[in-house]
Structure 1
Amino acid sequence: MAATDFDLLLDATSIGMAYTLQMSRVISRIANPELKPSEKLPNRLLFEVHIGEDELITYPTYTRPTERFLTGKYAPLKSISFALTEPYTPPETREEAIAFLDERLPPMFIRDPAYGLGVTTLIAPLLNVIRDIDGIAHLAIGPDATRIEGDIFHLNSGDYEDLRLHFGRVARNYQNESRIERTIAANDMLLHALDATRFPLQGRPYQAGTIHKLLGGPQLAGTALRGKDRIGVARAAAANAKVLAQKDPLEFAALQRDIQLVSLEALIARFRDLMAENASEPRWQTLFDANPFILSMVFGYPVVLVASGTPVGGIRFGGNGQKFADFLYKNDRTQNAALVEIKRPDTELVGPLYRGEVWPPHGKLSGAITQVLDQRAKFIKTLPLLKDNSDYAAIEAHAVDCVVVAGRTPENRDKRAGFELFRSQLKDVRIVTFDELLAKLELLRDLLADTGDTQSGSGVGAAGDEAGFDQPYDDEDRAEG
């Protein structure tokens, strides 16, 4: 549909602002041929901005010109609301309202009023299981814990994001399997009939998960192998790893990837727990000691960990004043040193409002920056002695890189802007937040999990298979989806 196919009628209400959808006369007459030119066009409340509760409340609406024209899409679900966690101004024009929806609605939710809002096909199963709960009439997505309260299903924003990413991975996996099946069918049903010698039957390849189902299916996580079974599985895995490495390196790489994924999932869970607990610096140092690759992701070049909690100089007469760096890395190619200073996730990054909408750095952040710069100065002065005393010469201080890991990315838009403006201007110190490190780990996990289609390549039809999951989902599609 085009922008001219609908209009939004704006009205101030006791709770904030209401936005009513009115489709064009052409579409309205297709839905109701008896509509006269002089008659008022039908309309339906599409969404509201509840200022008191800081909520965007949507009423997904059919806009197809059928017998269900301008009725609710997902009965018995009447509304889907979203917490407005950042500062906002209720839109006062049609254009502002469209832009507001585009900015505030989460991924996989329809933003175009012409399609009546709602969800896309990919996320529809989530909506359907909620609709199947007796008595639920409203879905509320926000920071509250996922729970059922009266006729409202509260869905935590983080839980929704986890489900959305998982749905995407499942969809891509099935798309890959479908392409493989169709490629085999084309060979076996067409080419093999023409020349059986040149085009032998391929047959269905091994499906990942077969052994998983054999050993316990959904209960595999709770399946405890006993005695010789446990020993046999361990030995078989080791023996097959050697064979795979020699005869099928691609499969061996896949096995390695799966093991890495399991380890990475556990690491991400541990990282989240430490963030939730606002763990102390020593506990973070223990985690990074055991997994030095986490911090290596903040550098734009290959690095190796030299030492953690290492002295970098500064000792004075009397024996005090010694400086310690949380982590000492070096460039694996140039041997150039890099220092990493770790703070806590609750470290404040933005200070009090200066004037207007200007948010300067917090004293704790500027203190951490000064601390790592002081460590660098002491390290450069003391490096020759350190190298001589430790008998370790493979490190240089040509241009020592400095990194501070601290805090969480500010949620407030203006504070976030102030933080970005400040750190982008730093020449010698890189600032990384804990949630950014977590996002890097999650991205690595997703990249490992999404292997793409290694069998069919980029052949014809690959692009078409990706289509459909971001399309508007109406209730009449439910039987098909």
Structure 2
Amino acid sequence: MAGDEAQLAQLLTGQDRTMVLGAVRTAIGGGLTEEDIRLISNRKEQLKRFERLLTEPEYFRQEENLATTRGAEAVWQAFFEANQWIFGYGLNLIACESINDGKLERITTGANIFGGAGKRIDAIMRSKGLISSMLFCEIKTHDTELLSNTPYRVGVYQPSKELGGGVAQVQKTASKAQQLISSQLLTRIYEDDGTPTDVELSTTRPRQVVVIGSLREFTHNGAVNPEKMSSFELYRTSIQDVEVITFDELYERACFIVEDH
């Protein structure tokens, strides 16, 4: 109950941290550590920030003014860099992480991570397991349009230029990277200066993801436009090898991970 939580918070305010942690351990009967509490608390704080970026234009503009390059996309790039747990688990509910504890954005063709500079991808990740596989991702913004403003025919809406372009871009990047290493089933990852790492990836059919827009685009006065929604769903489910996920869907998946709802 909300009242019980408020009363508990009031009782614990100002108490010794070690005492509070011990009380929580006793109450739940588990091995909860201070690091566990810090991690959960930080992730909930980041979910609140995620929500503000999605729903508060003024807050987003403030964050955008702090970004040094590429405007609105840079805000999301920096956010996902700092919160790779959202990007990894939230995309496919399979644990993913950056290639070698580095940045999500990497150079994948030309002089690159496979050979040791070239075309950039907003995020390249690897699944976590005994053998890792590749995941390429293009990150747009939550305000990017998903569909063209005017219908192609009555009740038929075509994907926006940015959506179609994002899909084509991630497909081309993944294809070029795969061609570069097509002679091998596994490939080793290299640092920018050519230093080999201990990371090897499966190069078979890498997953491709475009994070773009918001489903709120299809609502008006609280109701959903079924023609727009169906046009979008038909398009994204028809694309082979590319998953299109909106920012609000990614947010909800991240909430499920942290809060189980």
Please report the TM-score for the alignment, with normalisation by the length of structure 2: 0.72
Q: Does structure 2 conserve the Cα–Cα contact (< 8 Å) formed by 1:358 and 1:418?
A: yes
Q: Matched residues in 2 for 1:208 and 1:251: separation? A: 20
Map of 1:214 onto structure 2:
11
Map of 2:109 onto structure 1:
313
Q: Matched residues in 2 for 1:437 and 1:375: separation? A: 22
The code of the aligned residue for 2:81 comes to D
Pick the aligned partner of 1:299 from 92, 117, 120: 92
**Alignment of structure 1 residues 157-196 onto 2, 5 Å:** 170=1
1:210–1:415 distance in 2 versus 1, CA, 3 Å: closer
**Alignment of structure 1 residues 227-238 onto 2, 5 Å:** 233-236=16-19
CA deviation after TM superposition for structure 1 residue 395, in Å: 1.5
Q: Does structure 2 conserve the Cα–Cα contact (< 8 Å) formed by 1:308 and 1:327?
A: yes
Q: Matched residues in 1 for 2:126 and 2:247: separation? A: 22
Structure 2: state its 5+ residue gaps: 65-71, 112-116, 220-224
Q: Greater RCO between the two (CA within 8 Å, min separation 6)?
A: 2
Please report the TM-score for the alignment, with normalisation by the length of structure 1: 0.41
Map of 1:267 onto structure 2:
46
CA deviation after TM superposition for structure 1 residue 447, in Å: 1.8
Q: Matched residues in 1 for 2:35 and 2:6: separation? A: 16
Q: Matched residues in 2 for 1:408 and 1:434: separation? A: 6
**Alignment of structure 1 residues 39-54 onto 2, 5 Å:** none
Pick the aligned partner of 2:251 from 438, 444, 447: 438
Greater C-alpha Rg: 1
- 1:348 maps to 2:145: yes
Q: Does structure 1 conserve the Cα–Cα contact (< 8 Å) formed by 2:126 and 2:132?
A: yes
- 1:376 maps to 2:182: no
Q: Matched residues in 1 for 2:6 and 2:35: separation? A: 16
Q: Does structure 1 conserve the Cα–Cα contact (< 8 Å) formed by 2:80 and 2:87?
A: yes
**Alignment of structure 1 residues 19-58 onto 2, 5 Å:** none
What RMSD over aligned residues (CA atoms) do the two structures have, in Å? Answer: 3.3
Q: Matched residues in 1 for 2:98 and 2:29: separation? A: 30
Map of 1:362 onto structure 2:
160
1:347–1:300 distance in 2 versus 1, CA, 3 Å: same
Q: Does structure 2 conserve the Cα–Cα contact (< 8 Å) formed by 1:350 and 1:359?
A: yes
1:349–1:210 distance in 2 versus 1, CA, 3 Å: closer
Aligned-pair identity (%): 23
- 1:401 maps to 2:207: yes
**Alignment of structure 1 residues 146-165 onto 2, 5 Å:** none
- 1:387 maps to 2:189: yes
How many corresponding residue pairs? Answer: 222
Structure 1: state its 5+ residue gaps: 1-169, 175-206, 316-320, 449-481
Q: Where does structure 1 differ by over 6 angstroms across 4 or more consecutive aligned residues?
A: 207-210, 254-257
Q: Does structure 1 conserve the Cα–Cα contact (< 8 Å) formed by 2:188 and 2:201?
A: no
Q: Does structure 2 conserve the Cα–Cα contact (< 8 Å) formed by 1:402 and 1:428?
A: yes
- 1:428 maps to 2:237: no
CA deviation after TM superposition for structure 1 residue 441, in Å: 2.6
Q: Report the secondary structure of 1:349's partner residue.
A: coil
The code of the aligned residue for 1:267 comes to Q
Map of 1:281 onto structure 2:
73
Q: Report the secondary structure of 1:298's partner residue.
A: helix
> CA offsets per residue over residues 92-136 of structure 1, 9 Å max, x none?
xxxxxxxxxxxxxxxxxxxxxxxxxxxxxxxxxxxxxxxxxxxxx
1:324–1:300 distance in 2 versus 1, CA, 3 Å: same
Q: Matched residues in 2 for 1:339 and 1:398: separation? A: 13
The code of the aligned residue for 1:281 comes to E
Q: Matched residues in 1 for 2:142 and 2:83: separation? A: 18
